[in-house]
Amino acid sequence: MLFSGLWACKSKQNALQPISAPTLEKGESFFNNNNDSAFYYFNLVATSATDSLVIAMAYTYMGIIQAYEGDHYGGQESLLKSLTYLHEHRNKDQECLSSDYHELGNICLNLKNYEAAIDYYRKALRYIKDPDDRAIALNSIALTYQKKGDYDQAINLYRSLLVKNKEQKKEYARALSNYARTKWLKDPSYPAAHELKHALQIRKDSNDSRGLNASYAHLSDYYSSSMPDSALYYAEKRYGIARQMNSPDDEAEALAKLITLSPPKLLKPYFIRYQYLTDSIQTAKNAAKNQFALIRYEAAKNKADNLQLQKDNAQKENQLIVQWFMLVLIILISISIGIFMIQRYRRRRQQIEIASRQAIQEHQLKTSQKVHDVVANGLYRIMTDLEYKGPVDKESLVDKIEILYERSRDISYEEPTISRLPFHERIEDLLSSFGSDDTRVLIFGNGPTLWNHANAQVQIEVEHILQELMINMKKHSQGHSVVIKFERQNNQLHIHYTDDGIGLPPQFKYGNGLRNTENRIKRIGGQYKFEHPDKGLKMHISFPIAQPS
């Protein structure tokens, strides 16, 4: 998948050929091939160059890379930093200004901040002179209006693009497909098939893989209600082109569509591939964010160390010049100060490195826990429904998948949300969902008054604790009966879990799931205890409940 801002950066490079910036050129050689190396060299330029335009370009590239890797807020910060080095009245700065504003528009569009996106795209238009680049910016504005639901504005812009781009096949096909889709979104009875297929044919003739991906997606959406077989055909075509392009994000979106349209017998392999892709995409994006933060940290530390060393050397030289007649005494003092400063510097560096590693590890642990709770456990519950709950209700299944997909895409900055359903009903639904013909789940004491004065954080942690226990039961216990009893004594709430499975082996080691469960119990001030009867497993959990004020 090409970077969304690449078109502007390509033209910018030509305009800056007289500028001598070998490190920037080194970063450009890695751009879109090895993002870690590219980011390293661009960050080196941003923190060491003296030419304001070269610094601005480095921050622009860094922002594009961060946004592509899913770090939208980090990309936004880098692009805004780039703008501080540019001046709108300097001709040589204007192409970089257009790149910054267009990429800021893309980020706001991805974050669903449509008004800000439109404002940035219009600012980019002020500095774009190339007709093809203007067509791309106008298409971005029209797409933002479409996403916003302002279909009339989008349709008017697409009409103007159709007139302007008659001779430019690729841009004409893009405008035509988007125009037909917008007309259909405004009026579901609009016959968009002819225009959508015409755009598809142009893209086939032009061998435009990314355009074909969009056309197949539009046609699949268009036929979803009226002709499900045709919708499935185009969804399969989109899946094929996404795999051909080696685009994991597009492949995941195509799989989500296939899951909604395919017969039940084909769902499981799609689910397995979808789970693998979503896990891989999220892991790669989180790793990239951590790597970018580490690169910036190391660069800042090295710069600070160099400045400190220069300062120390200058002080020593001045002391030697002024007090040359006390040479012996100065040498002794300098040696003592040098040893002290080196020891202090080493201690400080060790403290900084330890704090940095701890911060990164904590971030990785929180992200890993979110991926486990949201993606792994969510998919396991859906697959359990498919395996044990009889005929599949496609609409309910699609809703669950869509919620899971949206949450997994935004997992890096997702805040926990509280359901409007009463908490005791949520617990009842959660535990009951693990019952089947082979496994009986019995629940006692889970009444509405039990959870009075339990705050939102306690509710969130308890729900994840119970979900993890039930998933481990389903995966490992081989039991046929599970009993969960709730009771409240004084200021403590007690949960007693019992199953008749195989229990825990003597050399049992905690996995990520139970380790997360242990951390959650400690986080709410609770305690837990395992018992090992002759058969099965017992676990007792207790934690404090806030009293009414």
Among 409, 435, 467, the domain boundary falls at 409
Whether 122 and 16 map to the same domain: the answer is yes
The residue-averaged pLDDT of 43-64 equals 88
Whether 98 and 60 map to the same domain: the answer is yes
Pairing of strands 481-489, 537-544: unpaired
Q: What is the pLDDT of residues 201-213, one digit of tens each?
A: 999 998 989 999 9
Q: Is residue 14 part of a domain?
A: yes
User: Helices 248-261 and 228-245 meet at what angle, rounded to 10?
Assistant: 160
The residue-averaged pLDDT of 22-51 equals 81
3-state secondary structure 268-325: HHHHHHHHHHHHHHHHHHHHHHHHHHHHHHHHHHHHHHHHHHHHHHHHHHHHHHHCHH
Q: Which of 438, 427, 379 is nearest to 403 (CA)?
A: 379
Cβ–Cβ < 8 Å for 139, 168: no
The residue-averaged pLDDT of 181-196 equals 94
Whether 1 and 78 map to the same domain: the answer is yes
Among 84, 108, 129, the domain boundary falls at 129
Among 78, 94, 129, the domain boundary falls at 129
513-to-400, 474, 519 alpha-carbon distances in Å:
22, 13, 10
The residue-averaged pLDDT of 38-67 equals 88
Q: Is residue 149 part of a domain?
A: no
Q: What does the pLDDT read at residue 217? A: 92
Tell me, rounded to whole angstroms, the distance of Cα 384 from its chain centroid.
26
CATH code for position 61: 1.25.40.10
Q: What does the pLDDT read at residue 13? A: 33
Percent of the chain with pLDDT over 70: 74
d(CA 517, CA 262) in angstroms, rounded, equals: 36
User: Helices 394-409 and 248-261 meet at what angle, rounded to 10?
Assistant: 160
d(CA 286, CA 246) in angstroms, rounded, equals: 20
- Say which amino acid occupies 357: R
Is the pLDDT confidence value at 467 over 70?
yes
Q: What does the pLDDT read at residue 37? A: 81
Q: Is residue 181 part of a domain?
A: no
Q: Which of 269-273, 469-473, 539-543 has the lowest mean pLDDT?
A: 269-273
CB neighbours of residue 476 within 10 Å: 16
Structure confidence at residue 221 as a pLDDT band (50, 70, 90): very high
d(CA 165, CA 286) in angstroms, rounded, equals: 40
Structure confidence at residue 20 as a pLDDT band (50, 70, 90): very low
Q: Which of 123-132, 156-165, 306-315, 457-466 has the lowest mean pLDDT?
A: 306-315
Is the pLDDT confidence value at 18 over 60?
no
CATH code for position 488: 3.30.565.10
Whether 404 and 423 map to the same domain: the answer is no
Q: What does the pLDDT read at residue 343? A: 77
Total of domains in the chain: 3
Q: What does the pLDDT read at residue 49? A: 84
Q: What does the pLDDT read at residue 34? A: 73
Could you give the 3-state DSSP secondary structure of residue 200? helix
Q: Which of 32, 104, 24, 31 is nearest to 56 (CA)?
A: 24
Whether 478 and 422 map to the same domain: the answer is yes
Q: Judge residue 168's burial from the number of C-beta atoms within 10 Å of its C-beta, 0-12 exposed, 13-18 middle, 19 or more buried.
A: middle
Q: What does the pLDDT read at residue 496? A: 95
Q: What is the pLDDT of residues 476-522, one digit of tens each?
A: 888 889 999 999 988 899 999 999 988 877 666 766 677 888 889 99
Q: Is residue 242 part of a domain?
A: no
The domain of 46 spans 1-129
Whether 464 and 492 map to the same domain: the answer is yes
Is the pLDDT confidence value at 413 over 50?
no
Q: Is residue 72 part of a domain?
A: yes
Cβ–Cβ < 8 Å for 223, 231: yes
Is the pLDDT confidence value at 223 over 70?
yes
Q: What is the mean pLDDT of the chain?
A: 80
The residue-averaged pLDDT of 362-376 equals 63
Could you give phi then psi for residue 495, rounded to 5 degrees? -120, 125
Q: Is residue 202 part of a domain?
A: no
- Say which amino acid occupies 500: D
Q: What does the pLDDT read at residue 7? A: 38
**Higher pLDDT pick, 449 / 29:** 449
Whether 453 and 400 map to the same domain: the answer is no
Structure confidence at residue 373 as a pLDDT band (50, 70, 90): low
Is the pLDDT confidence value at 431 over 70?
yes
Whether 33 and 105 map to the same domain: the answer is yes
Whether 405 and 424 map to the same domain: the answer is no
Q: What is the pTM of this model?
A: 0.51
d(CA 468, CA 278) in angstroms, rounded, equals: 20
Could you give the 3-state DSSP secondary structure of residue 446? coil
Whether 347 and 439 map to the same domain: the answer is no
d(CA 192, CA 224) in angstroms, rounded, equals: 13
Whether 25 and 79 map to the same domain: the answer is yes
Q: Is residue 329 part of a domain?
A: yes
Whether 26 and 49 map to the same domain: the answer is yes
Q: Is residue 169 part of a domain?
A: no
